[in-house]
Chains A and B, each alone.
Chain A
Amino acid sequence: MGDFVSSAPVGLKSVAYEVSHSKSGLAGIIILASILLISMVAVFSPENIIEKWNDPQAWLDKPRLAAPEWVTIFTGQNSLKTVIIKQEDFRKDVQKVAGLNTTKIELRARITYNYDTIPTEVNLNLEIISETRSLLTVRWVRPDGSSVLLLREAVEAGQKSVFTYRDRTVFENVQAYLQKLAAPSTLSVGEVLFSSEDSLLKGTAKLLKSSDVKPSRPYELVVEGVSESKFFDVNAQLNLLGSVYGLCGTDNMRRDIFVGIVWGAPIALAFGLVAALVVTLVQAVFGAISGFYGSRVDEIIQRVTDIYLVLPFLSLLITIQFIYKTTIWTLLIAVIALSLFGGVTKSVRSMALQIREEPYIEAAKSYGASRPRILFLYILPRLLPYTFANITVSVPAYVFLEASLSILGLGDPALPTWGKIISEAFSGGAAYYGYWWWILIPSIFIVLVSTAFALLWYSLDKVLNPRLREE
């Protein structure tokens, strides 16, 4: 079907100059450099994020679906950011009860709480080292001196996580407490923990801050363990999770989206760049061969290209991914195989046809230069600027291709990619419930990369098609 709009061949040096001296080119370069820098963090970090990313246990100390911390600047609220009281921050008190061969350990955490919101979760991780069962008591002491019993039970040794908001025993204990106060039993555990006893007596829950009492006093969590074991130890960690977290917030599996963004960057760049580079170069070589050799070779390449152009690229890829569930890198190979011929073949061919007629090619022929030599040393270099321009526009297309497959649940099974984050956000109902950060932040990055390449292309095209940019 006819010819494609083609551009005249231009020298590489002038291209580089023009691009780095145009506003759009410079902007593109700056954005890309920043993203490259971010990628470096991921590439050189010793942490094995990829394993961590898929391990739900690894993210328990992060809040679920928390917005980025910087939203507090706009809401004006002093929302709780994550507060973690580590094992070493607990005050430990060990008492041997003489004669009875019993050990009593008391752990006490102090939390100065002056935030405007109650935590979304209060989670306690316990480690109990003992030969026998031990008696465990957990109490919550408010700044006003009132206290709530959360747990009193005999427990086995080992690790124990108490999600106070969801724990049955805690719930029952809190209900008993409310009954004692004759307060409404519909109040949630969080509301009960962080309200003053006075307000509960009045039947309402009013957030009590440390600074509401004079002098200011912290909340306290008291863990008490009693055991008859010869050796006995209790360690605890307390996580108060807020409604905001980090730079980019978290997803529904408590994963820090910032981590996903940083580790997704090199993947997006590598996938996009490799695909764009290989596909464009292969197509350009075929196009140059087609235009330069002419006759039968040309005819065959053109017909094959016509077929490739109409192939249902995406549904073939979908079928491949659906059946073989490959990694992103195998997918890359499939993408390349399905794009050996295409638009670039057509436009490079028409450019090669023009270059072929130029005197210096004739001259090279008359010196007896072989045809492949002429092709690779004389014709292809002339096409490089156009090829570069095409690589820059196709990188974003491939970055989005990966995202498209992710939306269909056919992305890489393990890697955290930007597309996968967006698709998980979408299927996690982020648009429906308004978890905007989960969608928008990876989207901004994917658009940023695309825009950077688009800007580069724009500045390249200005050099390649000056006629289209008059005035």
Chain B
Amino acid sequence: MSVLLSLKGLTLYYRTRRGVVKAVDGVSFDLKEGSCLSLVGESGCGKSSMAYAIMRLLPRNTHTYCGELIFDGKNLMDLTENDLRRDFWLKKMAMVFQGAMNSLNPVLNIGEQLAEPFTIHLGLDKLEALKRAAELLELVRLPNSLLDKYPHELSGGMKQRVVIATALSLRPKFLILDEPTSALDVITQANIINLLKRLQEELNLTYIFITHDLGLSSELSDYIAVMYAGKVVELGDIVSILTAPKHPYTQKLLAATPKLLEDAKLEFIPGSPPDLAYPPPGCRFHPRCPYVMDVCKVREPEPVKVSSEHYVSCLLWERV
């Protein structure tokens, strides 16, 4: 399998009143075509920002955006926004936003919003586009009576599916899903996960699946990347990560994940994640790390390969 997406030192900083927020700070990894990567981490560690950075959908207060971002053999950094609009967004890469509840325009009906990609990118006429929109609804198992409904008339799960359907409209090969299920009840959640699995098989999609639910990510993904304070601290295939986590943060994260029907006492990680405007020097996890060494406070760890597809950024492992 070839590499579809390759990041090198991808960086995204925001300008705010408090200072520069380093939401994504030099992230590097490769993603193979047809695989699924889960991106996990505490709230505010920069997962969504990473998704925006990969999509090159930058907020207005972007301060720094740099690094290498090779997608399908092209460095997206070299392209203009017009190139992206014409050839990439929705056609090759699409994203389902974290706030699916708010991802639909409240004053346009579903049909119009679903048909838009067809009229704009494929130049179909209105009727034809609506027909395709109906097919999309079918793909995500929704009745096509929704076409002339407005977003406020839909349930959360329905909206989530409509958003996924929109993302799939032009059959992209790459999809980022930002917590597509966190606002839903378990049954709807399971439905959506099944839908995603089915779509992956049917359409041979490559996913990045953002969640803070490690259980969910194990359902879907081949790889897991653990993010902490704007950096990927550990990345590996799902089995290695779940059975042999190397980074102290990953270990804590796993220990803090509730497991159904098990009575194990939940641990929680003492302290709170750092302010990304003023991250601690050295390893960003050091203030909360149980194994902290003096060197952790001054040196930033580099990714270390611990097995064929498993990397960790921790000075404990660098020394070994």
Report A-B touching, CB under 8 Å.
yes
Q: Interface readout for A454-471 with B: 1 if CB under 8 Å, 0 if not?
A: 000000000000100011
Shortest CB-to-CB span from B269 to chain A, Å, is 23
Q: How far is the CA of A470 from the CA of B15 in the complex (A)?
A: 9
B17 proximity list for chain A (CB < 8 A): 466, 470
Query: Nearest Cβ in chain B — how far from A10, in angstroms?
Result: 14
Chain B residues with CB under 8 A of A470: 16-17, 60-61
Closest A-B pairs by Cβ, 4 of them: A470-B61, A471-B61, A466-B17, A471-B15
Interfacial residues, chain B to chain A (CB-CB below 8 A): 15-17, 60-61
Interface of chain A, helix or strand or loop or mixed? loop
* A124 vs B288: C-alpha distance when bound (angstroms): 94
Within 8 A of B (CB), among A239-296: none
A: residues with CB less than 8 A from B are 466, 470-471
Contacting residues, chain B, for A471 (C-beta < 8 A): 15, 61
Q: How far is the CB of A96 from chain B (nearest CB, A)?
A: 91
State how many angstroms separate the Cβ of A3 from the closest Cβ of chain B. Answer: 14
- Closest Cβ of chain A to B61, distance in Å, is 6
C-alpha spacing A471/B63, complex, angstroms? 11
Residues of A near B60 (CB, < 8 A) are 470
The contact sample of 7 A-B pairs, CB cut-off 8 A, is: A466-B17, A470-B16, A470-B17, A470-B60, A470-B61, A471-B15, A471-B61
Measured between C-beta atoms, what is the minimum distance from B167 to chain A in Å?
A: 28
Interface of B (DSSP majority class) = loop
Q: How far is the CA of A466 from the CA of B18 in the complex (A)?
A: 12
Closest to B15 in A: A471
Cβ of B15: which chain A residues have Cβ within 8 Å of it?
Answer: 471
Q: How far is the CA of A234 from the CA of B61 in the complex (A)?
A: 84
B62 to chain A, nearest CB (A): 12
Chain A minimum-CB-distance residue to B17:
A466
Task: Give Cα distance in the complex from A471 to B17, angstroms.
Answer: 7
Chain A residue contacts of B16, Cβ below 8 A: 470
> CA–CA, A196 to B15, complex, Å?
78
* Minimum CB–CB distance for A460 against chain B, Å: 16
Task: Quote the shortest CB–CB distance from A264 to chain B (angstroms).
Answer: 41
* Bound complex: CA A466 to CA B61 (Å): 14
User: How many angstroms between the C-alpha atoms of A470 and B17 in the bound complex?
Assistant: 7
> How many whole Å from A308's CB to the nearest CB in chain B?
29
Query: Within the complex, what minimum Cβ distance (angstroms) separates A209 from chain B?
Result: 66
Q: Which residue of A lies closest to B61 (CB)?
A: A470
Q: Report the minimal beta-carbon distance from B144 to chain A, rounded to whole angstroms.
A: 31
Bound CA span A12–B16, Å: 23
Q: Give Cα distance in the complex from A466 to B16, angstroms.
A: 11
| Interchain nearest-CB distance for B20 vs A (Å) | 13
What's the minimum C-beta distance from A335 to chain B, rounded to whole angstroms?
39
CB distance from A462 to the nearest CB of B (A): 10
Q: Closest residue to B16 on the A side, CB-wise?
A: A470
B209 to chain A, nearest CB (A): 30
Cα-based distance from A363 to B60 in the complex (angstroms): 40
**Min CB distance, A463 to chain B, in Å?**
11
Which chain A positions have C-beta within 8 A of B61?
470-471
B109 to chain A, nearest CB (A): 20
The distance in angstroms between the C-alpha atoms of A364 and B16, with both chains bound, is 35
**Shortest beta-carbon distance from B60 to chain A in Å:** 8
The CA-CA distance from A387 to B21 in the complex, in Å, is 33
How distant is A17 from chain B, measured CB to nearest CB, in Å? Answer: 15
Chain B residues within 8 Å of A466, by CB: 17
- Min Cβ gap A18→B in Å is 11
Query: Shortest Cβ distance from B10 into chain A, in angstroms?
Result: 24
**How far is the CB of A14 from the nearest CB of chain B, in Å?**
13
Which residue of chain B has the shortest Cβ distance to A470 in the bound complex?
A: B61
**C-alpha spacing A322/B17, complex, angstroms:** 53
Identity of the chain A residue whose Cβ is nearest the Cβ of B60 in the assembled complex = A470
In the bound complex, CA of A470 to CA of B60 (Å): 10
Task: Determine the distance from Cα of A29 to Cα of B308 in the docked complex, in whole angstroms.
Answer: 67
**Bound: A466/B17 CA distance, A:** 9
**Docked complex Cα distance between A361 and B61 (Å):** 36
Bound form: Cα–Cα A471–B60 in Å: 10
**Considering the chains assembled together, what is the distance between the CA atoms of A142 and B153 in angstroms?**
96
Q: State A470–B59 Cα separation when bound (angstroms).
A: 12
Question: Bound complex: CA of A470 vs CA of B18, how far in Å?
Answer: 11
A23 to chain B minimum Cβ distance, whole angstroms, is: 16
Complex CA–CA separation, A470 to B16 (angstroms):
7
Residue of B nearest to A469 (CB): B17
Bound-state Cα–Cα, A308 to B40, Å: 53
- Closest Cβ–Cβ distance, residue B38 to chain A (whole Å): 32
Q: How far is the CA of A471 from the CA of B15 in the complex (A)?
A: 7
User: How far is the CB of A465 from the nearest CB of chain B, in Å?
Assistant: 12
Expressed in whole angstroms, the minimum distance between the Cβ of A470 and any Cβ of chain B is: 6
CB distance from A123 to the nearest CB of B (A): 66
Give complex CA distance A471, B18 in Å.
10
A302 to chain B, nearest CB (A): 21
B64 to chain A, nearest CB (A): 15
Closest Cβ–Cβ distance, residue B317 to chain A (whole Å): 40
In the complex, what distance in Å separates the CA atom of A447 from the CA atom of B83?
52
